[in-house]
Amino acid sequence: MTRADGHWVPSIEELSLARRRIRDHVHVTPIMTSGLIDDHVGSRVSLKCEHLQKAGAFKARGAHNAVFSMSEAEAASGVLTHSSGNHGAALALVARSRGVPAHIVMPSNAPTVKKSAVLGYGAAVTECEPTLMAREKAVDQLQRSTGGYVVHPYDDRAVICGQAGVGLELLEQLADDPPDAVVVPVGGGGLLSGVATAVKARLPGCKVYGAEPVGADDAKRSFDLGYVVPQTGPDTIADGLLTSLGQLTFPLIKRSVDDILLVGDSEIVDAMHLLYTRAKQVVEPSGAVTLAAVNTHRQVFDGLHVAVVLSGGNVDLAELPW
Amino acid sequence: MTRADGHWVPSIEELSLARRRIRDHVHVTPIMTSGLIDDHVGSRVSLKCEHLQKAGAFKARGAHNAVFSMSEAEAASGVLTHSSGNHGAALALVARSRGVPAHIVMPSNAPTVKKSAVLGYGAAVTECEPTLMAREKAVDQLQRSTGGYVVHPYDDRAVICGQAGVGLELLEQLADDPPDAVVVPVGGGGLLSGVATAVKARLPGCKVYGAEPVGADDAKRSFDLGYVVPQTGPDTIADGLLTSLGQLTFPLIKRSVDDILLVGDSEIVDAMHLLYTRAKQVVEPSGAVTLAAVNTHRQVFDGLHVAVVLSGGNVDLAELPW
């Protein structure tokens, strides 16, 4: 539905439809707990394990919803996108399962493991400079040459509705013990806008926070200023959170998110170490930013039950930060 | 029960009693699957995630059963053991929860992460040379000075019955899709003997294999020769599998295990890499030896449904082998 001010807000029916559409294609990811992590961070944490999603990240949800929403005619020319990694891998996976070609534009600084994953799913990779402008230009050129459908990594209605399933699912899993707060990583805002919309629709009293690296703090600045501040020259280990907010995601974030919490890279590394040693889970920096936020902003979460979205697990093992 | 030949074989009632005794103290660990791992190894693998057990390894089961089987009087003087790490940490954890002192003898080459865990649970650590003789001598001295109860890491009836719960639990979890084979790491044989006894009692047609590093192949040699060959001078990355079989574990292994499968260290590292990248799970070398065996001995497992026990996840992250 579109509100009076012209902004699109997905209804709970749209979100539920997306979930049903992709149900047979994506995993219901588990929730894990760890007493040692709770003791360490001072709150009660439920880890929503989207790093165990297909292709190793929540991106599989949005990509599936986008591609399986397309008509046969639309899908026939294939799909394309730009992505620092996880969305590209997810779209490549979905394209393969629908049997259509995929072209993925990746910045030259994307992790090797993420490039390999895209190639492994049979997609074509085009490299470009690591700026939003270069990425969009390369996609535009590819679109004109292939006639394919561009599935934006986050500023796309079907993608946002797909990602929202993370929020609906975790609330169902925690129905007997609802969270006081949900913490979600924010890069372009596809996951955060979807989850926040879903959580506020189902459990209005629950707080929703975005977690963002200090070195790519455009979402925090945009949130505080009330308009989209583009991300330029990001500098953070969280390679999945380098993008700017979108025209669709920002209004949803403004509407349903309580605050954006910043964390430094060393705090992200500490959170990764905690997840590897205590929960025995391989989580990428962009996925650990949420636990880092809970650990850093203790005054916000003290004694609460917090659902923490671990958004992805695609990390170069040869480049672990310790 | 004790058989006519004098060897002790735990009855299914003993195994079930142990499970009930420790039920409130240990986790039911999940089973995970990964299509990418299945494709890689050529069989259908169910990963039994004992690295997600309390204190990061299956050892919590046996230690809990041993300590909670003791009378108040027996427990009052405390407990002691020798351990390269996981059993020591588990015993320290249990001693703390029963409120009795624990003394742990550890070889000087035990991983730092395992020593830290033992100290973190409040136990006293005594270091010794990394030989079985030095370990047993140090325990003997401590026993005389403290009067405490020695909980052997594997050659103890209560410990074996506790570890057997891994087998009972995985068969229940896979009741709708029973495995054709179960693969278990073998060091001293506590886990293998318990799981093999449980599995053959409940599902006699299911094969049970031990998985062992080439550089510590005493169990394979013992199994083939029919008597216990001590392990001397082990050389493997799998630091939890350096011990010799015991007087209780060997007869049970002879009775219920179908074969011991050897794997090289590079195959163990490959299996760890596969688990970290595909299943996003942090597993220690001794825990990954089972997936390595499935991948290496493909002729044994081709097309079968194999339950693979990932026995522990306590690994020094600063010393990962890649």
Indicate whether A39 and A180 sit together in one domain: yes
Q: Does A85 touch chain B (CB under 8 A)?
A: no
Q: Are residues B317 and A276, on separate chains, in Cβ contact within 8 Å? A: yes
Residues B20-50 have pLDDT tens digits of 999 999 999 999 999 999 999 999 999 999 9
The proportion of chain B whose per-residue pLDDT surpasses 90, expressed as a percent, equals 88
Q: Are residues A282 and B273, on separate chains, in Cβ contact within 8 Å? A: no
Looking at the domain assignment, is residue B1 inside a domain?
Answer: no
A112 or B309: which leads in pLDDT: B309
pLDDT(B3) > 90: no
Neighbour count for residue B178 (Cβ, 10 Å): 14
Indicate whether B163 and B146 sit together in one domain: no
* Residue B184 pLDDT level (bands cut at 50, 70, 90): very high
pLDDT at A110: 85
Q: Give the whole-angstrom CA distance, residue B157 versus residue B149.
A: 14
Q: Which residue has the tokens 């293998």?
A: B192
Looking at the domain assignment, is residue A46 inside a domain?
Answer: yes
- CA distance, residue B248 to nearest chain A CA (Å): 32
Cα A76 → chain centroid? 27
Comparing C-alpha atoms, which of B33, B52, B102, B205 is closest to residue A34? B52
At position B221, the amino acid (one-letter code) is R
CA dihedral A111, A113, A118, A120 (to 10 degrees): 160
Indicate whether B182 and B300 sit together in one domain: yes
pLDDT at B85: 79
Q: Does A113 touch chain B (CB under 8 A)?
A: yes
pLDDT at A4: 61
- CA distance, residue B279 to nearest chain A CA (Å): 7
Q: Does A273 touch chain B (CB under 8 A)?
A: yes
Q: Does B225 touch chain A (CB under 8 A)?
A: no
pLDDT at B4: 61
For B80-108, what is the mean pLDDT? 92
Indicate whether A165 and A256 sit together in one domain: yes
Residues A245-268 have pLDDT tens digits of 999 999 999 999 999 999 999 999
Q: Give the whole-angstrom CA distance, residue B75 versus residue B67.
A: 7
Indicate whether A194 and A311 sit together in one domain: yes
Looking at the domain assignment, is residue A3 inside a domain?
Answer: no
Q: Does A281 touch chain B (CB under 8 A)?
A: yes
Last residue of a domain, one of B150, B172, B202: B150
Indicate whether A185 and A277 sit together in one domain: yes
Indicate whether A31 and A73 sit together in one domain: no
CATH of the domain at A70: 3.40.50.1100
Indicate whether B286 and B235 sit together in one domain: yes
B136 or B195: which leads in pLDDT: B195
Comparing C-alpha atoms, which of A152, A155, A258, A250 is closest to residue A199? A258
- CA distance, residue A225 to nearest chain B CA (Å): 38
In this complex, the residue of B277, B313, B320 whose CB is nearest that of residue A280 is B313
Indicate whether A138 and A165 sit together in one domain: no
Dmax over CA atoms of chain B, in Å, equals 55
Give the number of C-alpha atoms closer than 13 A to the C-alpha of residue B45, restricted to the C-beta side: 32
Indicate whether B273 and B309 sit together in one domain: yes
Indicate whether A30 and A51 sit together in one domain: yes
Q: Which domain holds residue A210?
A: 12-57+158-319
Residues of B in Cβ contact (< 8 Å) with A320: 317, 320
Looking at the domain assignment, is residue B322 inside a domain?
Answer: no
Give the DSSP letter of residue B245: P
pLDDT at B217: 97
Q: Are residues A281 and B282, on separate chains, in Cβ contact within 8 Å? A: yes
DSSP B129-175: -SSHHHHHHHHHHHHHHH-PEE--SSSSHHHHHHHHHHHHHHHHHTT
**What value of ipTM does the predicted structure carry?**
0.92
Indicate whether A125 and A201 sit together in one domain: no
Q: Are residues A322 and B317, on separate chains, in Cβ contact within 8 Å? A: yes
* Residue B6 pLDDT level (bands cut at 50, 70, 90): confident
Looking at the domain assignment, is residue B7 inside a domain?
Answer: no
pLDDT at A157: 98
What parts of chain A have a pLDDT lower than 70? 1-2, 4
* Residue B77 pLDDT level (bands cut at 50, 70, 90): very high
Q: Are residues A280 and B317, on separate chains, in Cβ contact within 8 Å? A: no
Total of domains in chain B:
2
Cα B315 → chain centroid? 15
- Mean pLDDT, rounded, of chain B: 95
Looking at the domain assignment, is residue A7 inside a domain?
Answer: no
Q: Which residues of A125-141 are buried (b: 16+ CB within 10 A; e: fewer)?
A: beebebebebbeebbee
